[in-house]
Amino acid sequence: MIRVIAIDDEPLALRQIVNYIQRVPQLTLVAECQSAVEAASVLHREEVDAIFCDINMPDLNGMEFVRLLQRSDVPASSMPMVVFTTAYSEYALEGFQVAALDYLLKPFGFNDFRRAVDRIIQRHEEHAAMKTLLSAPDSRTKKDGDAVPRSRVGDTIYVRADHRTHAVALHEVRYVQAMGEYLRIYVDSSPRPLMTLFSMKRMEETLPADRFMRIHRSYIICLDRIAQVARGRVILNDNTELPIGDNYRAAFEEWLATRMA
């Protein structure tokens, strides 16, 4: 079961999303909260997999609440998935900049809610599958990032995934996505990303800085793959759109400025 909480300061909106949650058998409602402060208290004492969070709330709005969670001492692997709910479409980009899984624009119906839930279920299953994979004898580690030796030789990196060591040519890497304690590496030669136990910091150090840049706490991109930069987003040449995080914006803009015609 996927444990969730609902946060909204409007009683009718909170009741609607609680009703929707109760209609999905894979979800278990841990708490319904009328403020982010109340939700923070729940998260200190309960394990929660996902949060449905309104943005416009008094005292502490939903966006600030999620940013505080991300800056807290909660391990990345324990961070709940976030689905924002709001009546204001201008928050959509900001929501994705804090790595929200989805964004529901009020008023939304059950079908829209269910599509967001399907993404939660998929992500939850991916986490479960990775935990199973990492528990296999040949992927146990001494400490984080040491599952197998990762080295870079010339234009190739070696990555442990699916019980194998893959030689990955750097020119095939489109981008890297952090997923808790493991990474997804998107490459041209595979229809599915390679999933591996490795820290984002170590991957950032492994990839050559003249060809790759971290633009968000969850993303490293190949700079040669950039097709457009627009409104706080990078659009790659395969039409993938990725947010530029606040903490990485200055470095990215400095790099971009050196290449402006």
What does the pLDDT read at residue 108? 93
Examine the domain organization and report whether 128 and 160 are in the same domain. Answer: no
What does the pLDDT read at residue 91? 54
Does residue 53 register a pLDDT over 70? yes
Examine the domain organization and report whether 101 and 174 are in the same domain. Answer: no
- Cα angle 11-17-22, degrees, rounded to a multiple of 5: 120
Task: Please name which of 131, 105, 126 lies closest in space to residue 116, comparing C-alpha atoms.
Answer: 105
Does residue 246 register a pLDDT over 60? yes
- Decide if 175 contacts 225 (C-beta within 8 A): yes
Examine the domain organization and report whether 177 and 215 are in the same domain. Answer: yes
- Decide if 40 contacts 75 (C-beta within 8 A): no
Spell out the SS3 assignment of the chain.
CEEEEEECCCHHHHHHHHHHHHCCCCEEEEEEECCHHHHHHHHHHCCCCEEEEECCCCCCCHHHHHHHHHHCCCCHHHCCEEEEEECCHHHHHHHHHCCCCEEEECCCCHHHHHHHHHHHHHHHHHHHHHHHHHCCHHHCCCCCCCCCCCCEECCEEEEEECCEEEEEEHHHEEEEEEECCEEEEEECCCCCCEEEECCHHHHHHHCCCCCEEEEECCEEEEHHHEEEEECCEEEECCCCEEECCHHHHHHHHHHHHCCCC
CATH number at residue 247: 2.40.50.1020
Tell me the pLDDT of the chain averaged across its residues.
83
**Which residues make Cβ contacts (< 8 Å) with residue 251, sequence separation at least 6?**
213
d(CA 40, CA 135): 31
Structure tokens at 1: 């079961």
Residue with tokens 């442990």: 160
- Decide if 184 contacts 193 (C-beta within 8 A): yes
Domain count, the chain: 2
Examine the domain organization and report whether 181 and 234 are in the same domain. Answer: yes
CATH number at residue 20: 3.40.50.2300
What does the pLDDT read at residue 129? 65
Examine the domain organization and report whether 80 and 158 are in the same domain. Answer: no
Residue 145 domain-assigned (yes or no) = no
What does the pLDDT read at residue 28? 96
Residue 140 domain-assigned (yes or no) = no
Examine the domain organization and report whether 129 and 166 are in the same domain. Answer: no
What does the pLDDT read at residue 58? 82
What does the pLDDT read at residue 87? 81
The pLDDT tens digits of the residues spanning 183-204 come to 899 999 888 888 888 888 889 9
* Between residues 164 and 31, the one the model is more confident about: 31
Residue 42 domain-assigned (yes or no) = yes
Residue 186 domain-assigned (yes or no) = yes
Examine the domain organization and report whether 83 and 203 are in the same domain. Answer: no
Does residue 120 register a pLDDT over 80? yes
Residue 243 domain-assigned (yes or no) = yes
Task: Please name which of 183, 200, 188 lies closest in space to residue 237, comparing C-alpha atoms.
Answer: 188
**Which residues make Cβ contacts (< 8 Å) with residue 183, sequence separation at least 6?**
176, 177, 195, 196, 198, 200, 203
Residue 182 domain-assigned (yes or no) = yes
Examine the domain organization and report whether 120 and 160 are in the same domain. Answer: no
The pLDDT tens digits of the residues spanning 78-101 come to 678 899 998 876 554 554 455 678
Structure tokens at 148: 């197998």
Give the residue numbers spanning the domain of 163.
152-257
Examine the domain organization and report whether 178 and 92 are in the same domain. Answer: no
- Decide if 183 contacts 176 (C-beta within 8 A): yes
Average pLDDT rounded to a whole number, residues 115-133? 77
Residue 141 domain-assigned (yes or no) = no
Examine the domain organization and report whether 168 and 125 are in the same domain. Answer: no
Residue 142 domain-assigned (yes or no) = no
Whole-number Cα distances in Å, 37 to 7, 57, 60: 10, 10, 7
Examine the domain organization and report whether 163 and 192 are in the same domain. Answer: yes
Examine the domain organization and report whether 205 and 107 are in the same domain. Answer: no
Average pLDDT rounded to a whole number, residues 6-28? 96
pLDDT class of 242 with cuts at 50, 70, 90? very high
What does the pLDDT read at residue 149? 38
What does the pLDDT read at residue 138? 45
Given 108, 134, 160, the domain boundary residue is: 134
